[in-house]
Structure formats: C-alpha cells, structure tokens
Structure 1
Amino acid sequence: MTQPSMPVLESVTRPWPDLEAAHERATGAAAALLDGRAALLAALTRLATCAGARDELLRSLRTVAGAPWELARTGVPQLSRVSVVLPQDTALSSYVRHCLVPALYCDEVVVRPTPRIRETALEVHRIVSRGLDPALAARIRFTDAGQHDFAPVCAESDAVVFTGSAAAGGKLMTEIGDGPLFLLSGPAPNPLVVGPRAEPDAACRAVLRARLYNSGQHRLCPDVLFVHRLRLDALVERLRAELSVLTVGARSWPDAVLTALTYGEAVEGAARFLAEHADRVVAGGGADPERMQVEPSLLVFDEDPGFHPPALSGPLFCVVPYEDPEMLRCWARHPLELERGMYAAVLGEPRLTGRTLGTAVVLRDATPFDTEDGNLPCGGYGAHASGVRREGRMVGRPLLLSQEAALRNTVTTGPLR
C-alpha cells in the first residue's frame, strides 16, 4: 500500500472553520444588520439613493444568511489574515462580502477603504460591530494606512482582495510579491443586448433598472446597449419618454430615482464624454459639476464594433444598433474587452449561443443585478475585471474568496499559488 504524499497529509490535517460557531455568528450578524437598519440606511444614503441603500441592506442580509452554507460548500481552510481594499460604490454589501463573511474563517481581516468611502465604511462598521459577537467584531480591523504603507501588511497576508483599476491592482501586486493569494475586481462595460425577439416595454424596464441603479454609480451598470435595428426606434422612443419624467431629489427621498452624483470625478468624466459625443445626444446631454448633477442622457451611435466606452458613472444610455450578432462577437473579441469582460445581459437574442460573449458571462433575460449572489463566485473571465493571481499571472474567472482560498490548498495537490 502506497503512503499518502505530504501535501495530502498537510491538507487533511489543516484546521477548518467551526461551522456550528459560524452558524451562530452569522445569525447574530443578521440580527445586527436588522437592529441597526435605520442607522445603516442613514449612513448609506451619503453615497447611495434610498432605493439603492435598501437594496444593499437586503442583499447583505442574504449574504450573511448564506455564509455557513458557503463555508461548508467551499471547504475553506482557516486563514490567518486577509487584507481588503474596499470599493467606492457599495459600502455595506462589500463590507459584508469581503470583511464580515471572511471574519468567520479568518483570524484577522485588515480593511483599507478608499478615501472616498472611508467615512461611510467606518460608520457601517461601527453600527454593525455593536451587535456582533465580540470575538467576531475584534477580527475586523480598519487601517488609515496609505497604499504604500498598506503593502507590507498585504505581503504578510494569506490573501488580498483588491477592488479598483487593473493598473493600481498590478502596482500593489508588484509591491507585495508572489506570496499572498490576490483577487482583483475592476470596472467592466457589462453590455446589455436587446435582440429582435425582446418585448420593447420589458426591455425598456430592464435597461432603466440596470442603468439607473444608484443613479448609474455601480460597477454592474451597463455602459453600452446593443439594440437590434428591429427594436431600435421603439426602445429609443420609450427611453426618451421615461427619461423625461424621472424623479430627481435628495438621496434620502424614497421616491428619488436620480440624485447628485457622489464624486466630482464622475461628473467630470460624464461631462467630457457628453462633450466628445455631443452629435450623438438625442435626449439630455447636460452636466453641472458645481451641483454634481448629470442630466439623464440618451446617445445613439452608429453600428460599430470599435465603440469601446470608458467606465461611465451616471445616467448615460449609450445605444449602438446592430443587425448581425457577429458584430457583437467581433466587439467582444477586441483585446480591451477580453481583459474587462464581466457580464453580458442578453434579452431576446437567440442567435447569441453559448455561455460567454468574449470573456463576459452571458445572462439570458436577466441583468447582473438579478443574478449576483454574495455567496457564489461573481464576475466573468476578463482578468482585469475579475482576476486571480495563479503561478505569477492573472487568470480571469468568476471569483469568491472562500473558494479561491480552498483551491489554493486543495486536497489533491496541496498548496498552490
């Protein structure tokens, strides 16, 4: 009888999270979110619309409730330290997914929020931690270190979760070396395709819900709408009509669809894009940097597989017509789109077969907001949009920290990088 290899012995004997304790702590965390919901909504509406804040709270509750199932399914080992750079668009759901759930299986979670979200993220942590098991709350530690000073902390971590641009993520990876597991989540265009069989009213509702989530300030919002010519006129007219009657107000207003944008760079970027493409604007087109307002704007471009918009923030609807779905495949095969492929929402286009469009995961008759689940791998196969470092290079695939940490210590192969 052959002797088992050392990696297998190390894998079998490594410590595992206590699932019973994780269940109790997750239940307590859900109660903490519910008990602090009024204070959480007040904090979240510093950045999000009231509707967006409520949705974020409910999604966070679902993630906390699913955490014990996630740990049991992935078989994640107990980790010593995880370092997290939080994104700027979701204070609570990113805190829950990247900090609170990992604290169930990590001895220490060190958190560096980006400066734009820091005050809100700290307030969220204060509200939630008051109701947590003290041992669980003590595992989450915020730091005010700059990125340069944060690098040594990351270098001594089991894993690093970074949300931001690929350039900034690559710089941090270089600084910390090849030791830690590194997960990168970056911006993506998330195209939405309205095919010839899409029902115009339903397609219009899906487009509005997806693009106007938190006034268009979310990484899952579609930056480009590919519309079949058979549906082009109908969709454009419906969008033009709907955009003219949207409720504009303060973030705390329950019925406000559009509010002032949160960051000056977002308004300036939208203003530049509108100015560069002024001849394509068919509705809206205004931006007021002083009031942080961007008018809901509809732009219609020519059929062109070379249209690759930058990451857009705000209520901008960029429509590109098409007839042959091969044009969409050509667009998706561009090197830039292969790097940043995340999701492609496809409505009523049966000719787009397969699970992916380029490196973007195809969602049929659904948007990313309908499908993302905090306890499951999220994203696509573009390494700059959702990438994990393996053997010194970035590999694009849907990501979940607990699953990647478990794969790094797989029973059959032992520790991996």
Structure 2
Amino acid sequence: MTHPSMPVLESLTRTWPDIEAAHESAAGAGAALLRSRDELLGALTRLATYASARDELLRSLRTLAGAPWELARTGVPQLARLSVVLPQHTALYSYVRHCLVPALYCDEVVVRPAPRIRETAYELHQVISRGLAPRLAARIRFTDAAQRDFAPMCAESDAVVFTGSAEAGTSLTTEVGDGPLFLLSGPAPNPLIVGPRAEPAAACRAVLRARLHNSGQDRLCPDVLFVHRLRLNALVEQLRAELSVLTVGARGWPDAVLTALTYGEAVQGAARFLSAHADRVVAGGGTDLERMQVEPSLLVFDEDPGFHPPQLAGPLFCVVPYEDPELLREWARDPLEVERGMYAAVLGEPRLSGRTLGTAVVLRDATPFDVEDGNQPCGGYGALASGVRREGVLLGRPQLLSREAAQRYPVITGPLR
C-alpha cells in the first residue's frame, strides 16, 4: 500500500476560488476605479507625475481585467492570509496587483504600506473600497504596525509579498522564518543597451521615456546606459539637446515631464552621486534640496565593466561606452549584478543573442515599461531583485504570486475557465 505525499494530502484540505465570482468582483473593481478616476489621480499626483499616475491607472485596469484569466490559468488555491509590504512608489498599481487581485483568492490580505506612502495608499484603499462588493472590500485590512510587530503576522500567513530595499526584505525573511511563501522584489539597475544598429533618434526617445518615468523615481528606470561607440556621439548630443528643453512643473500638470522628487533622501542621494562623479557630468549636475529638485543630468563614464551604480532616483543618465559585447557580459557576471538582475533592454545589438544577460531577462527593442504585465510573471533571475523563498531557500526568477502559491499549495483539480 502506498502513502500519498504531503503536498497531495495538503491539497485535499484546500479549495480553489470561484472563477465566476472572480469575474464579477474584478469587473466591479474595474468599474470602481473608473468611477473614481479623478479622486485616484488627485491622490496619486501627490507622489507621481500626472503622466505616470495615468499610466498606473491604466495598468491597474488592465490587471483587473486579466485577473479571472490569471486565476484560471495558474490554478491558484484559496489562501487564508496574505501579508503585503507596499513600495514607496506605484501606490495604485502595487495595491491592485498585490492586494486587490489576491483578495479574489485570499480570505484576508494584511497591508503595510511604506511609511512615505501610507496616507496616500490608505486614501486609495478608501476610495476604491466604496465601489467594491462588501465581501471583497472586507478582505483587505491595513495596518500601521512597526516591522517588529508586523513580522509575527507574516509568520502566520500563507504568503508574504515584500517590495523595497533588499536589506529590509532579507531582514524580514529572517524574522518571519521558513513557513510562508515569500516574494521579495528589490531594486535593480535594469541596464539599457544601445547597440550599433540602433537608430539614434528612436534610441534617444526610448531612453528618455524609460529614465524619466515619474521623474526617474521608478524601480524599472535604467540606472546605466551602455552605448556602442558608433552611436555614442549622436546619442549624447541628442540627449543633451532634449534634456535642455524638458517641461518642469507641478505633479498635477498633464504636460509636466519633470517635477519635484517625493522624498529628501532621493535628492540627497543624487547630490552625493553627482558630487562623486563631477568630472563625468557633461550636462546638468545641479540639485536643490529645498525645492526637492534634481536637474536633468547626463554623465559619460569610461568603457569599464566595473561601473555598478547605486539605486538612483531622479533624472540621471549614466552613459558607459562599449565596443565588444563581452564587456556587457563581464559586467553582468559581477556578483553584485548576479544578485540584482531583473531586466536588460537591448536596442540594435544582435550580438547579444541569449534570453538573459547574466541574471537579467533580455528585452528586444523594448523597455521594462513596455512589457510589465500584472497578470504575468515579472522580473528576472536575480535573487535580491526577483526572489522567491520556499522552505528557507531564496531563488531568483520572474514572479507572480498566484503561480507561486499554486505550486506551493497545489489542488488536485479546479475550474478550467
């Protein structure tokens, strides 16, 4: 007589969410976002430019529309509790992806926003909850507990989602223990590579759109630009010209490209970086802590695989020339980049033919903002940028909570639509 394995025994005690009810709940949530569009944009523009706030709203709507399909495709079971730490930016999109969609298959979602966005995140929750089905709204609960008090809640959860610094995330994993499924999303440099076959004007536009999203305050913004020497002069000159005419204004202005940054540490960090590399600045270079502004700045470094920028916030463009793509591979093999590999946007460089550059997923003629999809696994294979921890082991891979939960807590069968 054979004995069933533990995962199968566990699966007998779990159920799967009602897909028909998920359809209705997701549609109702999308309608609530649309009805409250002006209120949501008003709250978001305290943290983000109008353009990036509008982008968040549209991405959130798309994620809600795809939620029933996601649940049916992954076969996620019903979970008892999910604990979530929201990031400093993308308050609405993160709330929808990590809280509202999981509430379709979790009995309780406990949310701890980063302190800087707590007020805005809670306001978003209040606005959206008014339009949700009461049963769905009741599943999402905010807490202002300190991390030492939040960790025990996480330890008693089926899963934990953390977005923030790698140091804080790994510290929380230690406090929580090995019981819950743990998803860690940390910062990454997301290099953008302009190869010899890239058209300079198109590459310049892609660089500007990626680096200036929310004034450069998004974890998907590229912190380093590798530019082939055949395209270096043309791209630098075009960037220098474009940066001199950017529209600066209030966050609520629809046409403002640059606004004041949202927290002082970002301005101070930019000031330290610009001061340390003052000899590399070819345009801009100024900061104003009182006005919370960083001047759009272009820096050109030597051809060096040892340039590993810190997490940068603000309109900083760090260009590193290259000729041989082996320099890019050497850069990506550095232990630091192995840990924080997420995306590598490749424009016009056919010699990088693989699916990954180190642990970063290669995006062909696209930036991370072009491919990010709230219903699909996102990220790369760097354990501190896209980490999934099971039973004490942290592995890097593109992550999606419903897929990871389905693998951790399988059910024997489930709805197919």
Please report the TM-score for the alignment, with normalisation by the length of structure 1. Answer: 0.97
Task: Name the stretch that deviates more: 324-333 or 148-157.
Answer: 148-157
2:177–2:392 contact (8 Å) kept in structure 1: no
Alpha-carbon shift at residue 409 of structure 1 (Å): 2.1
Partner SS, residue 116 of structure 1 = helix
CA distance in structure 2 between the partners assigned to 1:188 and 1:313 by the alignment: 12
Partner of 2:408: 408
Partner of 1:242: 242
How big is each residue's C-alpha offset from its partner over 1:151-190, in whole Å with a ceiling of 9 and x where there is no partner? 1111110000011112111111111111111110000000
Partner SS, residue 51 of structure 1 = helix
Alpha-carbon shift at residue 7 of structure 1 (Å): 3.6
| Corresponding letter in the other structure for 1:73 | R
Do residues 304 (structure 1) and 304 (structure 2) align?
yes
| Corresponding letter in the other structure for 2:248 | V
CA distance in structure 2 between the partners assigned to 1:368 and 1:129 by the alignment: 30
Partner of 1:188: 188
How big is each residue's C-alpha offset from its partner over 1:12-47, in whole Å with a ceiling of 9 and x where there is no partner? 562000000000000000000000000000000000
Partner of 1:360: 360
2:194–2:228 contact (8 Å) kept in structure 1: yes
Note the 1:243-322 alignment, pairs <5 A. 243-322=243-322
Partner of 2:108: 108
CA distance in structure 1 between the partners assigned to 2:390 and 2:13 by the alignment: 24
Task: Name the stretch that deviates more: 202-211 or 3-12.
Answer: 3-12
| Residues 302 and 145 of structure 1: CA distance in aligned 2, closer, same or farther (over 3 Å) | same
Partner of 1:38: 38
Do residues 216 (structure 1) and 210 (structure 2) align?
no
CA distance in structure 2 between the partners assigned to 1:187 and 1:255 by the alignment: 28
| Corresponding letter in the other structure for 2:35 | D
Partner SS, residue 135 of structure 1 = helix
How big is each residue's C-alpha offset from its partner over 1:233-256, in whole Å with a ceiling of 9 and x where there is no partner? 000000000000000000000100
| Corresponding letter in the other structure for 2:48 | A
Partner of 1:415: none
Alpha-carbon shift at residue 11 of structure 1 (Å): 2.2
2:77–2:410 contact (8 Å) kept in structure 1: no
CA distance in structure 1 between the partners assigned to 2:134 and 2:147 by the alignment: 28
Structure 2 gaps, min length 5: 413-417
| Corresponding letter in the other structure for 1:137 | A
| Corresponding letter in the other structure for 1:357 | L
Alpha-carbon shift at residue 4 of structure 1 (Å): 5.4
CA distance in structure 2 between the partners assigned to 1:190 and 1:87 by the alignment: 18
CA distance in structure 2 between the partners assigned to 1:2 and 1:168 by the alignment: 44
Partner SS, residue 123 of structure 2 = helix
How big is each residue's C-alpha offset from its partner over 1:78-120, in whole Å with a ceiling of 9 and x where there is no partner? 0000000000011100000000000000000000001101011
Partner SS, residue 115 of structure 2 = coil
Do residues 86 (structure 1) and 69 (structure 2) align?
no
Alpha-carbon shift at residue 280 of structure 1 (Å): 0.3
Partner SS, residue 117 of structure 1 = helix
Query: Identity rate of aligned residues, in percent?
Result: 84
Structure 1 gaps, min length 5: 413-417
| Corresponding letter in the other structure for 1:334 | D
- Total equivalences in the alignment: 412
Partner of 2:23: 23
CA distance in structure 2 between the partners assigned to 1:6 and 1:132 by the alignment: 37
How big is each residue's C-alpha offset from its partner over 1:195-223, in whole Å with a ceiling of 9 and x where there is no partner? 00000000000000000000000000000
| Residues 3 and 275 of structure 1: CA distance in aligned 2, closer, same or farther (over 3 Å) | closer
| Residues 11 and 202 of structure 1: CA distance in aligned 2, closer, same or farther (over 3 Å) | same
Alpha-carbon shift at residue 6 of structure 1 (Å): 5.7
Partner SS, residue 107 of structure 2 = strand
| Residues 411 and 22 of structure 1: CA distance in aligned 2, closer, same or farther (over 3 Å) | closer
CA distance in structure 2 between the partners assigned to 1:344 and 1:313 by the alignment: 18
What CA RMSD, in Å, does the superposition of the two structures yield over aligned residues? 1.2
CA distance in structure 2 between the partners assigned to 1:174 and 1:14 by the alignment: 27
Task: Name the stretch that deviates more: 166-175 or 41-50.
Answer: 166-175
